[in-house]
Amino acid sequence: MGTVRDVRRLPKAHLHLHFTGSMRPGTLLELADKYGVHLPDALSGGEPPKLRATDERGWFRFQRLYDMARSCLREPEDIQRLVRETAEEDVRDGSRWLEIQVDPTSYAPRLGGLIPALEIILDAVDRARRDTGLDMRVLVAANRMKHPLDARTLARLAVRYRDRGIVGFGLSNDERRGFARDFDRAFAIARDGGLLAAPHGGELSGPSSVRDCLDDLRAARVGHGVRAAEDPRLLGRLAERGVTCEVCPASNVALGVYEKPEDVPLRVLWDAGVPMALGADDPLLFGSRLAAQYELARDAHGFTDAELAELARQSVRGSAAPPEVRDAVLADIDAWLAADG
């Protein structure tokens, strides 16, 4: 066996990370104490919960835990702390470009409204970028459980603030609910405004939800997308179009999409030529950050260092990073692979 290199030193892009879910567990405990929020055992430390979100009860429990954690973010300084610490964690894991995903409407009630909330978040990202050196941008995500008109409002707002670091537009929450096509106008607004389309699909629902992302929303990336492995023709479409799937292995197992890490179809997507960007999704709830996803690919699926380097390249190519940033990170990936372990 060849040299095994430290995946934390492998330069990479992180394209699937949710805002509240990026919080450090210790920070959540401190904020909960600050605001007198009583946290359930699943958020109070110890082993990450097994949420089994493939059934209604499990998804409800996941949403309840996420909402409770989000309720502890009440002041601009809380937002600033979360973003700074998230950037620090990503830097530690070798991330060179981070696109953090947020629905600002979820934070608006406590931060003075939708526009103030978005500006507080963008200010925090600017500050974290300066303080940590991490190239960090924002992907605004609509909630598919809300009315499509809300998504259009968010898309217009995201385009309006594009010069402040917003690079993409997404659609999150349970893809088993509603239809992707109901949000086609919002995604058209975002695409016409120069934003990358990156809706969720192919996690809790099967291949059809990935097809809907391609056909109805003209996705350039798909959040998760792993269930495309069940449809060889769909895999061929993704590969031919170069649509990157933001695969989050630890999340898939924690939510019960797959029983164990070895079941996540990384090799199926890889062998079909589908570009992938490994992501941590919600480390607060799933217990592992970015580098751990690469460790999982190595340990559970036998990815060699050369293959891990190619996964990192795919994450960079699938990002919204400008050409000069891409070129620099790609060169450093080559240097990681060329160096001794």
266 occurs within a structural domain:
yes
What is each CA distance from 99 to 6, 19, 56, 281, in whole angstroms?
23, 10, 29, 11
Residue 149, judged by CB atoms within 10 A of its CB (0-12, 13-18, 19+), counts as exposed
Residue 167 amino acid letter: V
Domain presence at residue 298: yes
Report the candidate in 47, 29, 35 with the shortest Cα–Cα distance to residue 285.
Answer: 47
Pick the catalytic residue: 89, 99, 175, 203?
A: 203
Which residues have C-beta within 8 Å of that of residue 46, sequence separation ≥ 6? none
- Quick check: is 1 in a domain? no
Query: Which structure tokens are listed for 77?
Result: 């300084």
Mean pLDDT by 10 residues, the chain (341 residues): 83 98 96 92 67 64 88 97 98 98 96 97 98 98 94 98 97 82 97 98 92 97 97 98 97 92 97 98 94 98 97 98 98 94 56
Amino acid (one-letter) located at 85: E
Domain count, the chain: 1
Judge whether 203 counts as a catalytic residue.
yes
Which two three-digit tokens encode residue 98?
């981070």
Whether residue 290 lies inside any domain: the answer is: yes
The answer to the question of residue 2 being in a domain is no
Question: What pLDDT does 334 receive?
Answer: 97
**pLDDT of amino acid 179:** 83
CATH number at residue 155: 3.20.20.140
Alpha-carbon distance of 17 to 85, in angstroms, equals 13
Closest CA to 300 of 269, 265, 248, 257: 265
Q: Which residues contact 100 (CB under 8 A, 6 or more apart)?
A: 17, 18, 19, 22, 83, 86, 125, 136, 137, 138, 139
Predicted pLDDT of residue 8: 97
For the entire predicted model, the pTM comes to: 0.95
Domain containing 21 equals: 7-338
Is residue 291 assigned to a domain?
A: yes
